[in-house]
């Protein structure tokens, strides 16, 4: 997992981005970075390690500007180094981009771009995407992004800006979440609501194959076929305190000690006291489909993988289904038999 946070508006971007990164650090802590611009000068700062390491470097350089993007990384392609940290840039340091997800065909795209004279400085799939956008850029940033993404196989949530298109952040997603935060003459975006909630509780969730353009006065959303998307904002009912660590040193500890309350909340309103059981209802809509199945694959990562292991025992005990549990990162390389 990795984390993205962006800001454009009337305030200095760096403190907002830095706070957002701290709230997203549970999603990745191999390296972190940000790019901030005031329209004429752009400051790119990247550092290996936790967000606190980046914060020390920011104190030395004092980046200023009211537009910026930031990222905290959990390494997938390429080991944790400054060169592999986000944001990544094109060859002329004009495009600045952060990315969550995996570009599966990055090697073939990289070879194609190298044949056209592009030079790469990192081991990441993300840098390939920046160069691909550069290849298509002719003054129309959104058009270049859409053309580049039409060549991409895999998942992405991206945010970028171009020094020749000042005052604008472009976002796009497929399979990796991005959320817009709607403020007053300011806009934010992030991969998790935790990074936005202090500044606004009005949000819009981008859907797959959608692109958003933010500036300090307005935003627009379209799909990859250039059709306008109109979507109502959602109001988040919980506050910033729900995202805090509540005195615990780590989010993991907080989540461990919250388990009793979480179980209570999950069962609230679902207990059938007269029967002494609970009715969760999650499978009711797919019971007929389950009855027609012979085999189930649970595909998951992290703690969800362990939930899948437990589910395997439950399904095998209660049904005659054959059940397998796979790490999502490994399943794409398998070719399981249909039976």
Predicted confidence band of residue 324 (pLDDT cuts 50, 70, 90): very high
Please count the CA atoms within 13 angstroms of the CA of 25 that sit on its side-chain side.
25
Radius of gyration of the chain (CA): 22
Answer whether residue 229 shows pLDDT above 80.
Answer: yes
Which pLDDT tens digit goes with each residue over 44-87? 999 998 899 999 999 988 899 999 999 998 766 667 899 999 99
d(CA 127, CA 225): 25
Q: Of all residues in the chain, what percent are helix, strand and coil, respectively (each to 5)?
A: 30, 25, 40
The Cα-based distances of 37 to 129, 131, 305 in angstroms read: 21, 20, 41
**Share of residues in the chain with pLDDT > 70 (%):** 91
Flag whether pLDDT at 338 surpasses 60.
Answer: no
Average pLDDT, the chain: 88
- What pLDDT sits at residue 339? 43
Q: Residue 121: what pLDDT? A: 93
**Residue located via tokens 């209570």:** 264
Neighbours of 309 (CB within 10 A): 13
Give the 3-state secondary structure of residue 286. Answer: helix
Q: What is the mean pLDDT of residues 331-338?
A: 74
Tell me the pLDDT tens digit for each residue of 212-223. 999 988 999 999
Q: Which residues of 54-85 are buried (b: 16+ CB within 10 A; e: fewer)?
A: bbeebeeeebebbbbbbbbbebbbbeeeebbb
Q: What is the pLDDT of residue 238?
A: 66
Average pLDDT over residues 167-185: 93
Structure token digits, residue 157: 């949530």
Segments of 279-330 assigned E as strands:
295-300, 322-327
Residue whose C-alpha is closest to residue 90's, from 117, 63, 61, 72: 117
Between helices 106-115 and 125-136, what is the axis angle to 10°?
50
* Tokens 């990384």 found at: 73
Element (H, E) at 98: strand 95-100
Give the number of other Cβ atoms within 10 Å of residue 324's Cβ: 14
Angle at CA 227, nearest 5°, toward 223 and 233? 65
* Residues 172, 208: Cα–Cα separation, whole Å: 8
pLDDT at 152 (0 to 100): 93
- DSSP for residue 12: -
Tell me whether strands 271-272 and 234-235 are parallel, antiparallel or unpaired: unpaired
Name the residue among 129, 163, 168 with its Cα closest to residue 145: 129
The three-state secondary structure class of 51 is helix
How far is Cα 262 from Cα 303, in angstroms, rounded to an integer? 15
pLDDT digits (tens, 9 = 90+) for 115-166: 999 999 998 999 999 999 999 999 999 999 999 999 998 889 999 999 998 8
Residue 86 CA to residue 27 CA, distance in Å, equals 14
The token pair that represents 89 in the structure block: 């840039």
Q: Is residue 87 reached through a cis peptide bond, with omega within 30 degrees of 0 on the bond before it?
A: yes
Longest dimension (CA), the chain: 73
Q: What is the pLDDT of residues 247-305, one digit of tens each?
A: 677 778 888 898 888 777 667 667 777 787 777 666 767 778 888 888 999 998 888 89
- Report domain extents, the chain: 3-243, 251-331
The answer regarding whether domain 251-331 maps to CATH 3.40.50.2300 reads no
3-state secondary structure of 156: strand
| Contact (Cβ atoms closer than 8 angstroms) between residue 86 and residue 98 | yes
pLDDT band at 1 (very low <50, low <70, confident <90, very high): low
- Give domain 3-243's CATH superfamily: Aminohydrolase, N-terminal nucleophile (Ntn) domain (3.60.20.10)
The predicted structure's pLDDT at residue 332: 75
């Amino acid at each position: 997992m990795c984390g993205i946070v962006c800001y454009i508006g009337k305030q200095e971007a760096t403190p907002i981005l830095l706070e957002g990164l701290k709230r997203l650090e549970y999603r990745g802590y191999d390296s972190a970075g940000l790019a901030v611009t005031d329209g004429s000068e752009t400051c790119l700062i990247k550092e290996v390690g936790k967000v606190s390491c980046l914060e020390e470097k920011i104190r030395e350089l004092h980046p200023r500007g009211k537009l910026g993007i930031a990222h905290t990384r959990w390494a997938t392609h390429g080991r944790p180094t400054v060169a592999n940290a986000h944001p990544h840039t094109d060859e002329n340091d004009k495009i600045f981009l952060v990315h969550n997800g995996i570009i599966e065909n990055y090697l073939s795209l990289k070879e194609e771009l190298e044949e056209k004279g592009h030079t790469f400085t990192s081991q990441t799939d993300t840098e390939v995407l920046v160069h691909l956008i550069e290849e298509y850029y002719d003054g129309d940033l959104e058009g270049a992004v859409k053309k580049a993404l039409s060549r991409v196989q895999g998942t992405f949530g991206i945010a970028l800006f171009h020094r020749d298109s000042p005052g604008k952040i472009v976002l796009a997603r497929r399979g990796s979440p991005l959320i817009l935060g709607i403020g007053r003459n300011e806009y934010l975006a992030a991969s998790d609501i935790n990074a936005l909630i202090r500044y606004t509780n009005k949000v819009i969730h981008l859907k797959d194959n959608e692109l958003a353009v933010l500036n300090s006065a307005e935003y627009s959303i379209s799909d990859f076929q250039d059709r306008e998307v109109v979507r109502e904002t959602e109001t988040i009912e919980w506050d910033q305190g729900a995202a805090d660590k509540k005195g615990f040193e780590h989010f993991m500890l907080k989540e461990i000690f919250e388990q009793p309350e979480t179980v209570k909340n999950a069962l609230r309103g679902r207990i059938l006291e007269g029967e002494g059981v609970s009715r969760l209802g999650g499978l009711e809509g797919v019971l007929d489909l389950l009855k027609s199945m012979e085999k189930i694959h649970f595909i998951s990562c992290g703690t969800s993988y362990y939930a899948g292991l437990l589910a395997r025992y439950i399904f095998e005990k209660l049904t005659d289904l054959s059940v397998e549990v796979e790490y999502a990162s490994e399943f794409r390389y398998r070719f399981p038999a249909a039976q």
